[in-house]
Structure 1
Amino acid sequence: MLPDALRAALDQALTRYSPQELSRSVAHLTESYRTPSAGGTHLRTQADVAAYAAYRMPATYAAAGAAMRQAAALTPGFQPATLLDAGGGTGAAIWAAGAIWPSLRQVTVIEHDPHVIDLGRRLARGSEAAAVRETTWRHAAIRPGLDRPRADLTTMSYALGELPERDRPDIVRWLADSAAMVIIIEPGTPAGYATIAAAREVLSGQGMTIAAPCPHGGRCPIQPGRDWCHFSVRLPRSSLHRQVKAGTLSFEDEKFSYVAATAGPSPRAEARVLRHPQKRKGVVSLRLCTADDGLRDVIVSKRQGELYRRARDVDWGDAWPGGEG
């Protein structure tokens, strides 16, 4: 769920436009992203920018928060003071980071669209976190070699896959330069996972430790074309959110893939739950990625007592004790 301050600021920004205007802009954006060969910028007007924020900001915030919480749980001593968010859009990821790491003192967002920056800056002014309120918004296109501030934490959400494929390895190395932690998030689709898997290899090649979600630093055991590593987070929809998305449900499930890497050694989950646990009477079935055996399906029965109680409470994406089950 969006923080109250962000939800209020976003609602205020959207009052400039009628729900009909926003719905038309969302329809245009949806069609543009389905047909990228059409060329041109997707965000043509300020109404498009507002619609984009209403359409995507809650889901991006939820996915970024979920990935960041998993990384933070494994690195409790990591207290970043500086954050660089590349391709940061209207700032969903910096709001999530500000909530998870109150140690942040300086935040920089690099974004190529000045209208997006304008809205992101206005939204950020309502944050309770001083670092988010005082974010430096830099107008620039992400490219290899772009001058950037050093940062303890660098993030990139739903942006790497939109860049030319030939540039992505250099962009990942650029993100990793001097950073203590890098977090990259992409849509939870086969293509999004492929982008994350390639970024994971680059980060590993830079000598970084893959901290999450992977329980190991070896090659991903998932065979391309047969499955993909992704996770899901459920978020509520406001009435305006439902209207803009032409949806009737009071919630939506955002699917995402991610990788978090650290410059130094980092503990890892012993195993990671890769799908919704299948819960039946007296039995829980788990699909796991493990450090030793790769992909593994385990069944936990009621006879296993405390382990079964843990299995009843575990969610897709959570850590799981290796060797148990």
Structure 2
Amino acid sequence: MSRTPAYAAELRAALARAVRGVSERDLARATEALVSRYRSVSPAAAPILASPVHVAAYAAYRMPATHAALSRALGDVADRGLAPRSLLDLGGGTGAAAWAAAGAFESLERVTVLDQVEDALALGRELVRGSPSEVLARATFARAVAGDWPSLEADLVTVSYVLSELDEPSQDALVADAMHRGQAVVVAEPGTPDGYARVLRVRSTLIEAGWTILGPCPHASACPLAGSDWCHFAARINRSAEHRRLKGAELSYEDEKFSWVGAVRPGVVDSLAPQSGSGRILRHPLKRKGFVEFQVCRPDGTTGREVVSKKAGRRYRAARDAEWGDTLP
């Protein structure tokens, strides 16, 4: 049974404690600055988290969404049978990927988060302090500048929502570094056309190096959406009252759109389960009376429409429960 909902609730409570005492006006101003930056597609000229208030605003505004996206991606990787004992999160800031990994992998024993912003790392330490998860409570949050990381390796290396802050040569260098350090690598970016383009470049790098794709792709062929559409998924987040205030939102939930790719180096895949299902569901299913219609990326490298009718019995019942981003039953 997934531990993600419990970890998401614990994270929300920790975030509420962390922003207590910070001026709502300061949080709102910092949040506006962050929103403006995240809507830009150009590399950042300076660290986005420029002050403790910006860090607190980021954590309250963005961390639940990043955690939800990484939980979905790492959950898929866990379903393939990956059971890492160690996690290294490059550019991990306040630790969203660490929380997601702790929820996805019962095997996890060691977590290290590296980032250049000490204020972000300090908040990350505060959030995990007193956590009932032993692996989170003893996680290491260490300051390091990209290109000068300490000599660390891990079973799983994550790079989440970082590439958009870098120019292409720096992106390539970071991905190469992640591949050098990890047995498996997961990269996630915003679910926008430019975020998908960055993920697609990472996917090509992984495949060219002989790595095996874990997800979301059910194949290693050229992406059939390239040039006409973009591959992205959604994770639902339950908003806290603080989260709603910061975003000026009324709904009690939101859907975080994200793109991602995960892969393992040659040899590791032999210990994992093969891809299950008939492909990856690319859009919200259309559930009609007597049948369910899907848009699917197939194992043969094509995309198209798939229909599962009521006559399929057990498969139809599974199809009724399938969602965007799942594998097709």
- Give your verdict on TM over 0.5: yes
1:116 is the counterpart of 2:120: yes
TM-score normalised by length of structure 2: 0.91
User: Which one is further off, 15-24 or 116-125?
Assistant: 15-24
2:162 pairs with 1:162:
no
Determine if the alignment matches structure 1 residue 197 to structure 2 residue 223: no
Alpha-carbon RMSD:
1.8
Instruction: Give the Å deviation of 1:204.
Output: 1.4
Matched, 1:89 2:93: yes
Gap runs ≥5 in structure 2? none
Q: Which residue of 1 aligns with 2:285?
A: 277
TM-score w.r.t. the length of structure 1 is 0.92
Measure, in 2, the Cα distance between the counterparts of 1:29 and 1:292.
41
1:12 to 14, 17, 20: 17
Partner residue of 2:30 out of 5, 25, 44: 25
| Aligned equivalent of 1:220 | 223
Taking the aligned partners of 2:327 and 2:85, their CA distance within structure 1 comes to 27
**Offset at residue 8 of structure 1 (A):** 2.2
* Structure 1, 146-155 or 207-216: larger mean CA deviation: 146-155
Offset of 1:38 from its aligned partner? 8.5
User: Does residue 55 of structure 1 match 2:61?
Assistant: yes
Q: Does 1:268 align with 2:275?
A: yes
8 A Cα contact 1:108 1:135, kept in partner: yes
1:199 and 1:283, CA in 2 relative to 1: closer, same or farther beyond 3 A?
A: same
Aligned residue identity for 1:86: L
- What amino acid is aligned across from residue 257 of structure 2 in structure 1? K
- After the TM superposition, list the runs of 4 or more consecutive aligned residues in structure 1 that deviate by more than 6 angstroms: none
- Post-superposition shift, 1:28? 2.0
Are the structure 2 counterparts of residues 292 and 250 from structure 1 closer, same or farther at C-alpha, using a change threshold of 3 Å? same
Match of 1:230 among 206, 229, 232: 232
Q: CA offsets, 1:62-91, max 9 Å, x none?
A: 00000000011012xx32221100010100
Q: Is the 8 A contact 1:233 1:253 kept in 2?
A: yes
| Matching residue within 131, 138, 141 for 1:137 | 141
Within 2, Cα distance between the matches of 1:311 and 1:161? Answer: 35
Q: Percent same amino acid among aligned pairs? A: 43
Moved more, 303-312 or 113-122: 303-312
**Structure 1 residue 129, shift from structure 2 partner:** 2.1
Stretches of structure 1 that go unaligned for 5 or more consecutive residues are: none
Q: CA deviation at 1:19?
A: 2.5
Residue 153 (structure 2) aligns with: 150
Which stretch has the larger CA shift, 205-214 or 3-12? 3-12
1:64 corresponding residue in structure 2 = 70
2:183 to 180, 183, 197: 180
